[in-house]
Amino acid sequence: MAFRKLELIEPILKALAGEGYTTPTPIQQQSIPLILERKDLLGCAQTGTGKTAAFAIPILQILYEDKSTERGPKHIKALILTPTRELAIQIGESFAAYGKYTGLTHTVIFGGVSQMHQTNQLQRGVDILIATPGRLLDLMSQGYIGLQHLKIFVLDEADRMLDMGFIHDVKRVIIKLPAKRQTLFFSATMPPEIQTLANVLLTKPSKVEVTPVSSTVDAIEQSLYLVDKGNKPGLLLYLLKNKAIITALVFTRTKHGADKVVKILLKENITAAAIHGNKSQNARQHALSNFKNGNLRVLVATDIAARGIDIDELTHVINFELPNVPETYVHRIGRTGRAGNTGIAISFCDQEERTELKDIQKLIAKNIPVVDSHPYPLSAGSFVPQVGGPKIQAFNRGGRGMHSSDRGGRRGYGTQRTGNK
C-alpha cells in the first residue's frame, strides 16, 4: 500500500515524497484512517514500528483541514506528551518534516534548558505542542500555556511514563484537558496501571496492535558472548576491529559505566561519546548529532536512550551489560532493524547476569545464539547458560565478518525507506 491510498492531502504527500517515504508501515496503515475519522485510539506498538508518523500525519491533516474555520489568535490545538527530551525533539522533527507545506506551527518544550526560547515561541502562538510532563506543568503554572482550545491529545510511551515515575504528572495534565477532545494513547506494554489510565482517558477507542515482542526481535540478528566481567572492555575493542561495524550504539547500566567505556574507546582512537542523565541537554544533542552524521563511530548510552532515538541505518547495538528489566532489552535492540531493515544486536553476559539472560530469553521466546569462539571466553567453572540454538563462529583476527551472513555484505541496508520516524 502507498501513502496515496490513505487519502492524505497533497501538502503532506509532497512532504513525505521529499523525505523518501512511499510505503506506510503496518501501524501507519491501520492508525491513520482511524485518526482521520476523529476516533480515539489505543495503540500498542514497540519502537521502530513507525508510531510517530502514525499520529503526526493525521494530526497535521486534521488541523490543516480545520484551519480555515479558525478565527482569532492561535491556540494550542494538539498536545503530544512524551517522557524524554530526546523523544520530544525527534517528534518535533517529524512534525517539521511532514508538515513542511501545511503552514502549521509547532514547538517543543522540555526541562534542563532555559525556558526563555520556549516561552518566546509559545507567546508567538503555536498549533502543536510537544512536551515533557515537568516543563509542561511548570509553564502552565506560569500562565504561558492554556489547553482550553485543545482538540487532540496524544499520550506517547505511556508505560515509559510509568517506569520513569511521571504518571502523577501525567494525571495532573489530564485534569486540565477539555472534556471534548480526541485522545490517542500509545504504549509498548499494558501493565494494569496503564490499562486503568487508558480506560479513564479514552472514549470508545479503536485498538491497533502491531509487532509483538517476538516478531520485533525476529528482524534483528542476535548473538551472545559469554565473558568474564573484567574482560568486557577487551572484548568490545576486539569486536570493534571489525570494519563491518560502521556504527554501534553501546548500552551500559550506569552513567559511570558509560563514561568509563568512552574513556577506554577514546584511548584506542575510536571516536565515541556518552549520553546519560548527568550530561547537559546540549551535550547530549551534540553527541547524538555527531553520531547521526558519522563523526562518531560509537555512542555509549544508559537506558535513557533505549527509546526515542531514531538513527537511520544503525548497524549494531551492543549490550555491554544486560538490563535488569527484560523489556528494556527489546527496546535497546529495537534501535537497529527499524522499519524493515535488518540489524545486528550483540550482548555480553557475565556470571552475575545469568538471571537477566534467563528473563530476556523467556520474554522473547527464543534462545540467543552463543558465539563460543573469541579471545575472552568465560574462565573455568564460570556460569554457562543453558542456551540452545546454533553456535556462531566469531570473526578472526584478520577482521572478517562477525557472522557468516555478513560475508556477502550487510543484509537489508539500502532498502526502501518508509515512514519510520
How far apart are alpha carbons 191 and 66 in whole angstroms? Answer: 36
Q: What is the pLDDT of residues 276-297, one digit of tens each?
A: 878 877 888 888 889 888 899 9
For the chain, what is the largest distance between any 2 Cα atoms, rounded to a whole number of angstroms?
Answer: 76
Tell which phi-psi region holds residue 143, choosing left (phi > 0), alpha (psi between -120 and 50) or beta. Answer: left
Work out the pLDDT band at 112, boundaries 50, 70, 90: confident
Dist. CA 224–CA 141, nearest whole Å: 49
pTM over 0.85: no
Identify the weakest region by mean pLDDT among 151-160, 226-235, 338-347. Answer: 338-347
* Amino acid of residue 366: K
Reported confidence tier of residue 20, pLDDT bands at 50, 70, 90: confident
Q: What is the mean pLDDT of residues 44-59?
A: 85
Confidence bin at 61 (pLDDT 50/70/90): very high
pLDDT score at 336: 82
CA separation (Å) from 201 to 333, 343, 345? 31, 36, 36
Confidence of residue 415 (pLDDT cuts 50, 70, 90): very low
Can you name the residues that pair with 209 across neighbouring β-strands? Answer: 44
User: Given the C-alpha cell 477539555, which residue does it identify?
Assistant: 178
Q: Please give the full DSSP string across 321-379, using - where no structure is assigned.
A: S--SSHHHHHHHHTTSS-TT--EEEEEEE-GGGHHHHHHHHHHHTSPPPEE--SS-PPP
pLDDT score, position 304: 66
Residue 164's pLDDT band (cuts 50, 70, 90):
confident
**29 in Cβ contact with 45 (< 8 Å):** no
* Domains recognised in the chain with CATH numbers: 3-211 (3.40.50.300), 214-408 (3.40.50.300)
In this prediction, residue 163 has a pLDDT band, given cuts at 50, 70 and 90, of confident
Quote the mean pLDDT of the chain.
Answer: 83
What order of strands is seen across the sheet that includes strand 206-209? 106-109, 128-131, 78-81, 152-155, 182-187, 41-44, 206-209
C-alpha cell at 131: 512536551
- Which range is most confident: 84-88, 227-231, 337-341, 393-397? 227-231
381 backbone φψ class: left, alpha, beta (φ>0; ψ -120 to 50): left
Angstrom distance (rounded) from CA 235 to CA 256: 19
- pLDDT for the residue numbered 106: 95
Q: What is the pLDDT of residues 358-408, one digit of tens each?
A: 989 888 888 999 998 899 988 755 555 554 444 444 443 333 333 333 323
Residue 414: pLDDT over 50: no
Alpha carbon distance 79, 81 (integer Å) = 6
3-state secondary structure of 16: helix
Q: Which residues are CB-contacts of 415 (< 8 A; sequence separation ≥ 6)? A: 340, 341
- How far apart (Å, rounded) are the C-alpha atoms in residues 142 and 146? 10
Mean pLDDT of 94-105: 94
